[in-house]
Amino acid sequence: MFSWMCVRLCRLSRCTAHSGHLSGRLKITYINTRNLYVSNKCLQKKDRLYLKAIYEQRKVQLKDYDLPANVNRKAIFANNEVQLQEIEVYGFDYDYTLASYTPELHDLIYDLGRDSLVYNSKYPEGLREMKYDPNFAVRGLHYDVRKGLLMKIDSFHHIMLGTVYRGLRSVVDEEVKELYDGTHVPLESMNTFYGTGLMHQLMDLFALPEITLLANVTEYFLRNSIPFDPEYVFHDVRSAVQDIHLSGQLHQEIMSNIGKYLVKGPEVLMLLQRLTEANKKLFLITNSGFPFVDAGMRYIVGPDWQSLFDVVITNARKPKFFNEATRPFRIYDAHTGTQSWDRVHRLDKGKVYQQGNFSLLRQMTGWFGSKVFYFGDHVYSDLADVALRHGWRTGAIIPELENEIDKINATDYKVAVRWGMVLQQMIEYCQDTTALEDTEILKEWLHERDLVRAYAKEIFNPHFGSVFRTHHNPTYFSRRLSRFADLYMSNLTNLLRYSVDHTFYPRRLALPHESQPFASMFT
């Protein structure tokens, strides 16, 4: 039985065929249930004609609708209402929050990790020919440790078909469905709360070189018919990349050529000064060591950067800092590079602290709850615990947001997405026809919708699409972002666009049972 909407659409005024086209101006008239029999009889005779007419009419009608306005790439976006006038304390991570890195950093991480595999783990020398491709992967992908597959998963734990890769090779949809008995990934196979598990999610920007290295190693083994276990390769690559962090090799390389890897500008200093002038307390909590942070902050802010912060905590070991209460604070002596042996009873401005835990931080400062706003780039280790356990307000720094917004603002993208939405609504409302010819038209619409979806995906990334969306659902990454971050932005310094008393309001989004975009075209 045709849907109510399609019955209403069927009565086009004086529709007669002439040379295969409709004569006269198309006009939608409204009917009530008394006309149902007549309308169905009309549809049985001319469904195909009417469906084609509807299709053409929608294209004409869309011309009367303005395209959405452009989004400001430097804006701040709210998942939850935040009143800055209530914030008394601002906290920051260092990497990709206070410090912004150039694209050259990813090449460095990739090269160091690859060379570690070759020299330390005795991987084939030929891997040195596999270069880093900055356009291959996006943040938030999942890697199936046992199957050796890289993929994008949506907020309902479904694999987005067309985004599954073994090495650099796309895995066909039929194979994906066979491997996973469909597209759904069970909860027990997904991440634990902190992003670890058989389906390992690569959450921060440091993960992009690691993703690419995993794919390139797999591809090299496949091309050269070298037998391998994907799980071994995963752990070897993880260890190689982690070792260059833990050994200090990566930090030494950055500090030796800091201008190549760090972005310098006056905005970070301007922001910190604005907050201190507004009598806000500032603190820094980072997993990085003090010498590395000090070198970067001197380059970004200046030699007196510590005077802007009330508390500086390094080697914090987040997320353990936020969910364990066993490690005490220790004072770090920057001159000798050693830690104190005395127990710390208070946190003083001008001193550097290491380790510690959230409970002691709250006890010694009195900072708690929604009066504290913490910013970081890692959704799990920076934001999850402080949002869910401790009630801090949270801000996520997502540098790739600007590139995504640039793509969203493109006219071709806006036109494609809008037409895809209209196509899907037509398919939804007109899907209950039983005539064979009519179902063929619906198949054509479905095919066209799929082409529009593929086009929209490739605008962002030809392999994996947008960081934030699958075809019609948010990504798993986007879901976690909306859960753990009150605000998100491309750069911390976007805060300079707003006053210290600004209130951020979340956008009201239509629920499935509420009015949808372009609903007036069908009702």
Please tell me the distance from the alpha carbon of residue 61 to that of residue 9, in angstroms, as a whole number: 14
Q: Is 64 annotated as a binding residue?
A: no
Q: What DSSP state is assigned to residue 379?
A: I
Contact 402, 121 (CB under 8 A): no
Token output for 158:
């479904």
Contact 157, 190 (CB under 8 A): yes
Looking at residue 376, its amino acid is G
Please tell me the distance from the alpha carbon of residue 386 to that of residue 366, in angstroms, as a whole number: 15
Contact 110, 207 (CB under 8 A): no
- DSSP lists the bridge partners of residue 504 as 82
Catalytic residue among 47, 95, 154, 204: 95
Concerning whether 310 is annotated as a catalytic residue, the answer is no
Q: Is 382 annotated as a binding residue?
A: no
Tell me the chain's radius of gyration from C-alpha atoms. Answer: 28
Distance (Å) of CA 203 to CA 206, 207, 474, 507: 8, 7, 15, 25
Please tell me the distance from the alpha carbon of residue 123 to that of residue 283, in angstroms, as a whole number: 43
Contact 100, 375 (CB under 8 A): no
Catalytic residue among 93, 385, 438, 486: 93
Distance (Å) of CA 348 to CA 77, 126, 335: 34, 53, 18
Q: What DSSP state is assigned to residue 262?
A: B
Residue with tokens 């127990």: 343
Please tell me the distance from the alpha carbon of residue 476 to that of residue 289, in angstroms, as a whole number: 31
Token output for 450:
């799929």
DSSP conformation letters of 91-130: EE-TBTTTB-B-THHHHHHHHHHHHHHHHHS---GGGGG-
Please tell me the distance from the alpha carbon of residue 288 to that of residue 251, in angstroms, as a whole number: 9
Concerning whether 47 is annotated as a catalytic residue, the answer is no
Angle between helices 436-460 and 401-409 (to 10 degrees): 130
Q: Is 450 annotated as a binding residue?
A: no
Please state whether 51 falls in left (phi above 0), alpha (psi between -120 and 50) or beta: alpha
Backbone angles phi, psi at 167, to 5 degrees: 65, -125
Q: What DSSP state is assigned to residue 492?
A: G
Distance (Å) of CA 72 to CA 4, 37, 338, 401, 460: 40, 52, 46, 11, 17
Q: Which residues are annotated as a binding site for Mg(2+)?
A: 93, 377
Q: Which residues are annotated as a binding site?
A: 93, 95, 377
Q: Which residues are annotated as a binding site for GMP?
A: 95
The set of catalytic residues is: 93, 95
